[in-house]
Chains A and B, each alone.
Chain A
Amino acid sequence: DQQVKQNSPSLSVQEGRISILNCDYTNSMFDYFLWYKKYPAEGPTFLISISSIKDKNEDGRFTVFLNKSAKHLSLHIVPSQPGDSAVYFCAATGSGTYKYIFGTGTRLKVLA
């Protein structure tokens, strides 16, 4: 049941450059999407979210883009910093449910 997919298990980026993490979903009932960051031995930390009524949401260095017709969202981090190195999960949810469906994660490594 892979309703939320992150097809890139890992990504390496030079410090200062843009990191782009991608996520695809299959369930058209999803209407709210989130990105979480996770360091080893810690719980996921909420980064940024987007509602389906928007196609872009920005918070500092982090921007999430949503393409509903393609059922695709992406997280842009610019400029990337070594402290951004972590596993990034996208998650989705819809009205009428309390649960988030998580993707499998993308491990981002920002090289100094």
Chain B
Amino acid sequence: EPEVTQTPSHQVTQMGQEVILRCVPISNHLYFYWYRQILGQKVEFLVSFYNNEISEKSEIFDDQFSVERPDGSNFTLKIRSTKLEDSAMYFCASSEALRTRASTYGYTFGSGTRLTVV
């Protein structure tokens, strides 16, 4: 079964450093997403990406965050200057299409990258 692959599984970084989280979406998928889950809290939307541009972003996704699809297979999330409160599980997801009213569609999520900012 096709998978969304995320690397690394765990990243520890010093406050103020830049991190890049990497994702390889499912190959025929066109829509890409980043979500995060702070420990003990709910899964929160960060950004969606389609046709090489951001299609939607949340208020969490400020100027410190950026996304890129540099080579047609990878999808990256960069945090320029990490803060302690950026510590969370970051999940990448992809989908073949947006859902229709009658579809049974859902995203496919990766296993996540645990980011720890110290």
Contact = CB atoms under 8 A, between A and B. Distances in A.
Interface of A: 31-32, 34, 36, 41-49, 51-53, 57, 59, 89, 91, 93, 97-105
Contacts of B43: 44, 89, 91, 102
A51 B103 contact: yes
A42 to B, nearest CB: 5
A48 B104 contact: yes
B31 interface: yes
Contacts of B55: 98
Contacts of A32: 99, 101
B112 A98 contact: no
Between A43, A59, A93, the greatest number of chain B beta carbons within 10 A of the residue's beta carbon is seen for A43
Contact of B98 (A34, A41, A98): A98
B110 interface: yes
B42 A43 contact: no
Interface of B: 4, 6, 31, 33, 41-45, 48, 50, 55-56, 58, 91, 93, 98-99, 101-112
Contact of A99 (B4, B58, B101): B58
B112 A36 contact: no
Contacts of A36: 106, 109
30 contacts: A36-B106, A36-B109, A41-B111, A41-B112, A42-B111, A43-B4, A43-B112, A44-B43, A44-B91, A45-B109, A47-B106, A48-B104, A49-B104, A49-B105, A49-B106, A51-B99, A53-B101, A53-B102, A59-B104, A89-B43, A93-B99, A97-B56, A98-B33, A98-B56, A98-B98, A99-B33, A99-B45, A99-B56, A99-B58, A105-B42
Given A97-B56, A100-B107, A31 B101 contact: yes
Contacts of B45: 99-101
Contacts of B106: 34, 36, 46-47, 49
Contacts of A104: 41-42
A99 B58 CA distance: 9
Contacts of A103: 42
Nearest to B43: A102
A49 B50 CA distance: 22
